[in-house]
Amino acid sequence: MLAKDILRRNKTALQQALCADYQLILDKVLERSLITQREYNNLKKINGENVEGHVVALVDKIMNKGEDTCRSFLDLLQTDEQIKTTYDLKNTQISDTSLLPTPVQVASSRCDDAPASKKQKKDEVYELKSKPVGLCVIINNKNFHNNTQKTRNGTDKDARSLAEVFTWLGFRVLACKDQTSDRMRQVLKSFASLGAGAQPQGLSVEEWSEVGFTAPQQDIKHGDAFFCCILSHGVNGSVLGTDSKPVNIKEITRTFKATEESALTGKPKIFLIQACQGNGIQKGVLLKDVEIDG
């Protein structure tokens, strides 16, 4: 069970117990760096609240910080001797041993001093063991129909730079150039449904190598992670195909939702969008007192 869920289920009983000494628990979470000094000062100076109100604010603050902070907070409650003797936590069900950091063998004893928030359970980390690590698919729209949009000069250089970086990271990089909105959807659906023995059908796909983008020489299959990079013009919430018709970004990500058949279920899927999201242009800012090399 997630630490945040355990806190949520035991929130009322936990808050009642911590009311016994609010200042102590506040000092303890600061010592563990679960809150900043500024947050500590703000929590200490809440006006118009009784002790219970202060405790509620503290627990809410911890829960809003995410899973790692919640895990460290539970670890603090279960392992700190002063807390165990000060608060009656018997009525709370927070003693889930699976939440405590998993012992690991280390080369140096200095690692034992690492904060609990840095220690992650194995099932919370994506394992990237496949070779290649996965696919990086680049949709690169440069030329638009009937001059409806400006030619995106420089986008080929961006695509090559992405290809070089992701190749260095261990990914297999594929690219589809100048795709209409319908073709973009077809590309996305093809890679979302790519499985054992299945290959993208009817697509013009090129693969990055040392000599540039060329025709793929091997079957295409997913690894342990997936990146999709879309370089195009855009409007608010959408990217444009070369026919200047929009494809909603939410539609793009929903195409890769987890299913029993998907080879990407339970694996990280990351989308990088390089596209304007409106007509506004941010003005530059002049820097004062900039030193110039002679």
Q: With contact defined as beta carbons under 8 Å apart, do 258 and 266 qualify?
A: yes
Q: With contact defined as beta carbons under 8 Å apart, do 223 and 133 qualify?
A: yes
Neighbouring residues of 230: CB distance < 8 A, sequence distance ≥ 6: 138, 139, 141, 184, 239, 252, 271, 272, 273, 274, 275
The reply to whether 54 belongs to the active site is no
Distance CA 88, CA 18 (A): 8
The reply to whether 145 belongs to the active site is no
- Which one from 54, 70, 136, 233 is the annotated catalytic residue? 233
> Got the DSSP string for the chain?
--HHHHHHHTHHHHHHHHGGGHHHHHHHHHHTTSS-HHHHHHHHT-TT--HHHHHHHHHHHHHHT-HHHHHHHHHHHHH-HHHHHHS--TTS----GGGSPPP---SSGGGGGS-GGG---GGGS----SSS-EEEEEEE----GGGSS---TTHHHHHHHHHHHHHHTT-EEEEEES--HHHHHHHHHHHHS--TT----S---EEEETTEEE---S-----SEEEEEEES-EETTEEE-TTS-EEEHHHHHHTT---SS-TTTTS-EEEEEE---SS--PPP-PPSS-----
> Crossing angle of helices 51-64/22-31, nearest 10°?
20
Tokens of 217: 């020489």
Q: Which residues belong to the active site?
A: 233, 276
